[in-house]
Amino acid sequence: MIFKNILVTGGAGFIGSHLVRLLVDKYPDTRIINLDKLTYAGNLANLRDIEDRANYHFVKADICDYEAMLKLLKDYEVDAIVHLAAESHVDRSIEEPFVFAQTNVMGTLSLLEAAKTVWQKEDNWQSKRFYQISTDEVYGSLQDNDSLFSEISKYEPHSPYSAAKASADHFVRAYHDTYALPILISNCSNNYGPYQFPEKLIPLFINNIRHKKSLPVYGKGENIRDWLHVEDHVRAIDLVLHKGIVGQSYNIGGFNEWKNIDLVKELINCTDRLLGREEGEDMDLITYVADRKGHDLRYAIDSTKISKELGWKPVYDFPSGLEQTVSWYLEHQDWLDNVTSGRYVEYYEKMYNNR
């Protein structure tokens, strides 16, 4: 598949910015349109290195604004949508479920309806793609140590975040089954890497270790997550977009499970080493705190299908991926300070309002 105009929603966020960079670099003859509302999690500084490229365009908009989505799809003659825009943090979803339903469910529906309305009028509309980026959290929680989520696992979300993502995935599938909208879905495990908002475990803890602040481990730290480097995820997204079979979903994960407490110890050792401290000297920062409500015990992905059918496999091994990530955060304290102070929001609001 070759696309002329790819719309990436949520391109100023963590995964979206890595995807936009990959697409802008790899497809110089394709226009990459980054649509983002710039919530607290959206940060155009993540894309400073490519913002002047001829095939990159930024549009500030809200996916929930149906009229704006219609206009944008027409004006830019969009032939593929990679939909990442979402509220993404489980802890926030427990506090603010309405916001999650609004953005993740209603926003996805608004985009689906706009795509259907605009594309259906075109002769070649089966060559378009609506690609929903989803999470393994829609499958719920594994209670044993061996089983894995596959593409046919049942959806059993537990948190307001995963319930909203699951609902959005169901709408995407419904648009395929009802209106023949050419859709793709992928469900990925936990991502790590540069530019992740420091509310998520890995960047939050690296920053805290640096500043000798406590590390709040939920419950006993026995929950298990399957970690994948964000660059491996966006390489998979590129493959699914260009080679995936319409109507199918693909699981993406690195067969890389870690118990939270073991990961935290690994992070402390790595961060201490890179800061020139004695390895492990910050172990006493670990503080066990009250567990997250409804905390899923274990996520683990079987990514055999995407490997066999599309030839994807992760490039990063975990120790080198983690070391690269810790180094990046330690070298980008200014980025961390900006996103935690909110200063970048004011800066870019001004810049775009003045254009």
In the complex, the residues that contact ligand TYD under the rule CB under 6 A are 90, 190, 200-201, 204, 216-218, 223, 225, 260, 292
Binding part of the chain for ligand NAD, among 83-91, 119-127, 176-184, 275-283 by CB under 6 A, reads 83-91
Backbone angles phi, psi at 204, to 5 degrees: -60, -45
For ligand NAD, the binding residue among 64, 185, 241, 322 (CB under 6 A) is: 64
Report angle CA 104, 264, 217 to the nearest 5 degrees: 65
For ligand NAD, the binding residue among 20, 32, 38, 115 (CB under 6 A) is: 38
Nearer to ligand TYD, 130 or 161 (CB): 161
Is 144 tagged catalytic? no
* CB 206, CB 326: distance < 8 Å: yes
For ligand NAD, the binding residue among 23, 24, 84, 236 (CB under 6 A) is: 84
Q: How far is the CB of 338 from ligand NAD (least distance, A)?
A: 15
Q: How far is the CB of 271 from ligand NAD (least distance, A)?
A: 20
Q: Among ligand NAD, ligand TYD, none, what does residue 218 contact (CB within 5–8 Å per kind)?
A: ligand TYD
Burial 54-93 (b: 16+ CB within 10 A, else e): ebbebbbbbbbebebbbebbeebebbbbbbbbbbbbbebb
Catalytic one of 87, 137, 231, 257: 137
Catalytic one of 131, 161, 250, 316: 161
Is 337 tagged catalytic? no
Give me the sheet containing 190-192, strands edge to edge: 190-192, 224-229, 257-259
Q: How far is the CB of 348 from ligand NAD (least distance, A)?
A: 11
The residue behind tokens 């567990």 is: 291
User: What span, in angstroms and rounded, lies between the C-alpha atoms of 355 and 215?
Assistant: 42
Site for ligand NAD in 127-166 (CB under 6 A): 133-135, 165
Based on the shown chain and the rule CB under 6 A, indicate whether residue 301 belongs to the binding site for ligand NAD: no
Based on the shown chain and the rule CB under 6 A, indicate whether residue 103 belongs to the binding site for ligand NAD: yes
Alpha carbon of 275 to those of 155, 197, 281, 307: distances in Å? 42, 21, 11, 37
Contacts of 179 (CB under 8 A, 6+ apart): 116, 120
Backbone angles phi, psi at 169, to 5 degrees: -60, -40
Based on the shown chain and the rule CB under 6 A, indicate whether residue 239 belongs to the binding site for ligand NAD: no
Is 137 tagged catalytic? yes
Q: Which stretches within 101-229 are classed as H helix? A: 108-119, 160-179, 201-210
Dig out the tokens for 279 from the structure: 């390895």
Contacts of 89 (CB under 8 A, 6+ apart): 41, 161, 197, 199, 200
Based on the shown chain and the rule CB under 6 A, indicate whether residue 78 belongs to the binding site for ligand NAD: no
For ligand NAD, the binding residue among 6, 33, 69, 188 (CB under 6 A) is: 188
Q: How far is the CB of 172 from ligand NAD (least distance, A)?
A: 12
Which of these, 304, 227, 216, lies nearest to 259 by C-alpha position? 227
Nearer to ligand NAD, 163 or 285 (CB): 163
Nearer to ligand TYD, 208 or 303 (CB): 208
User: What span, in angstroms and rounded, lies between the C-alpha atoms of 307 and 299?
Assistant: 19
Based on the shown chain and the rule CB under 6 A, indicate whether residue 14 belongs to the binding site for ligand NAD: yes
Residues that bind ligand NAD (CB under 6 A): 9-10, 12-16, 36-39, 41-42, 62-64, 84-86, 88, 103, 107, 133-135, 165, 188, 190-191, 197
Residues catalogued as catalytic: 136-137, 161
